A = this chain, B = another copy of it.
Amino acid sequence: MAFTRNPATGERVPYGDFLTNAQGEDVVAGIRVTEPLDAMGSRFPECHVQLLENMKILENHYRDMCDIEFTIEQGKLYMLQTRVGKRTAAAALRMAAEMVEEGLIEPKEAVLRVQPAQLDQLLHPQFDPKASFEPIAKGLNASPGAAVGAVYFTADDAEEHAQAGEKVILVRPETSPDDLHGMIAAEGILTSRGGLVSHAAVVARGMGKPAICGAESIKIDLKAKQFKAGDVVVKEGDVISISGTTGQIALGEVPVITPEPTGHFAVVLGYADQFRRLKVRTNADTPEDSARARSFGAEGIGLCRTEHMFLGEDRVAIVRRMILADNEADEQAALDELEVLQRADFVGILEAMDGLPVTVRLLDPPLHEFLPDTEELAVKQATEGLSSEEEELLRAARSWEEVNPMLGTRGCRLGVIKPGLYKMQVRALMEAAVERKRAGGDPRVEIMIPLVVTGPELQLLTNWTRETAQAVIDESGVDVDYLVGTMIETPRAAIDAAAIGAVAEFFSFGTNDLTQMTFGFSRDDVEGRIMTPYLTQKLIPANPFETLDQAGVGELVRWACERGRGARENLKLGICGEHGGDPASVHFCHEVGLDYVSCSPFRVPLARLAAAHAALGAGGPGSTA
């Protein structure tokens, strides 16, 4: 075998790297020792000259790194086979960039030579491919990257040990907003429950931190501070390695490599930007995430969730006061307090994304997410008893508890029955925009109303939004442009897109929820239990939460685009589900005519490249390349 380039780094290797002294199976099996190609010069000088000649011909012909098989029999060189060689992401980028420089290929071809999915390798640490280890368990690969650290079972313990300089892995049955400080402190996160949109998975992806979720085979004993994986017992402080890219969990330290994106990375992505039609935005909820995504080339925020603006110990207390309020004045007082806090949140985000569109989604989750766990309180009630405040919280939690929260009183339904809530958010956002404008900034606000099902529903909320926004503009005397649109995330909204498109200025496809409702799949419930048997028995073609299901969900997206644009020609169309960072799905988004895709910050480069591939007609929508 011989290469014209080093397949690991992409460096040119003018005299080749390897020479076999055997043939066939022996070579493939790797049981014979190879020699450098140079050695051939002394042993078979004529054949060596001829081979180098042939290699030049082949590289010029294929204009690519080739993998060549040849043999020498009775002093005669036989070329057996050649094909374009496999390569790492780094090698692919380097070769593509250099070959353009050398005039060997056009930028277009350079772009097509790098597979979008490969870029993940460059943006996250990975287990060293040469390392050998025996996984003790496997979970869902919820957030890519690899991490090594000592196991801790509470956020407080994880934070404490991290502050003492130890690298830690936070292990929890599942995480909640209360665990946030532990997640920030940890190198990686491992949970035994929850799917790819569980709290742990979503937060970890946003942070670009490795996570494995729903590792149902590990049995966590929080009291004993240990977990079992088969017969292996892992105690607090024991070191494990996790790969959120593969879902593998190993005991002890697995060597990790951290590839550094090189200049070639920027060059090739720059080429990609010349060809793509789709804009690439990011899903970001904080100024830090926004800035990071922008550095990766994000052209705005496609989804700024506002949930976190209601969380954190201090804020939850205010939110609870709002929920428990038995009169309007108390409710409004709590909302006013929140408004001040959220305005500052918005200012930070608008500043980080100055000059680029920022789509802010009004509050989406059901209210009970801000209330304590009823079972915990019920147990406390039966044992120690509850304070009168806790009694009140338990009552509220019970009254807001839902059988199927995903299909319950959340999103704009909450907006309709608690009008003060959305008005407060719109006020805080518009005041932030005014503040930015006064500071010389260029805020571009898009207000997104979630979970809409009919035109009149969106109309009511749009009216409230516009009245509130106009009031801020009038009071401040500062004019701020803004759009009001909606998320298309219920099948009904997609079907009735003509009525909804007549009201909305933009649609953003929330393909996570749209997939959940179209399949009737609650990710938290089905990803752990049925996804594997369904995939192995080929009952579904792919995990529809990773790659957009074109025969089902895709049909709804297609209809919604057609019907929506039928009602409003210049309707802005985007996607903010996680599919925005999946190459095959990006291809589909290009094909149906969306204006942009939006994905987590770390997937922005991948989406830029995938968008270019789609525009260049490479790979089909069914391709997962």
Contact = CB atoms under 8 A, between A and B. Distances in A.
Interface string A522-542: 101110011001100111100
A551 interface: yes
A525 B383 contact: no
A454 B518 CA distance: 11
Given A378-B379, A382-B382, A456-B539, 10 more contacts: A382-B383, A402-B524, A405-B525, A407-B525, A417-B530, A453-B519, A453-B552, A454-B539, A457-B540, A513-B520
A486 interface: no
Contacts of A491: 491, 517-518, 520, 552, 556
A347 to B, nearest CB: 33
Interface residues of A, number: 56
Interface string A496-523: 1001000000000000010011111110
Contacts of A453: 519-521, 540, 552
How many subunits of this chain does the assembly comprise? 2
A75 to B, nearest CB: 57
A492 interface: yes
Interface string A320-349: 000000000000000000000000000000
A518 B490 contact: yes
A518 B539 contact: no
A31 interface: no
Given A417-B533, A519-B492, A539 B457 contact: yes
A577 to B, nearest CB: 15
Interface in A27-75: none
B409 A529 contact: yes
Contacts of A517: 407, 491, 517-518, 520
Contacts of A539: 416, 454, 456-457, 460
A363 to B, nearest CB: 15
Nearest to A524: B403
A496 B544 CA distance: 14
B457 A521 contact: no
A495 interface: yes
A545 to B, nearest CB: 13
Given A416-B534, A460-B539, A530-B416, A406 B405 contact: no
Contact of A404 (B375, B406, B496): B406
13 contacts: A375-B375, A403-B525, A404-B404, A406-B407, A406-B522, A407-B407, A409-B525, A413-B526, A416-B530, A453-B552, A456-B539, A496-B552, A517-B517
A377 B413 CA distance: 33
Contacts of A460: 537, 539
Nearest to A521: B407
Nearest to A374: B375
B375 A409 contact: no
A575 B345 CA distance: 50
Report, nearest first, the 3 A-B pairs whose CB atoms are least far apart.
Answer: A407-B522, A408-B525, A404-B522
Given A407-B406, A499-B551, A540 B454 contact: yes
A451 interface: yes
Given A513-B520, A520-B453, A526 B407 contact: yes
A66 B383 CA distance: 72
A490 B521 CA distance: 10
A467 interface: no
Interface string A469-493: 0000000000000000000011110
Contacts of A379: 378-379, 381-382
A599 B538 CA distance: 36
B537 A495 contact: no
A390 interface: no
Nearest to A384: B382
Nearest to A549: B492
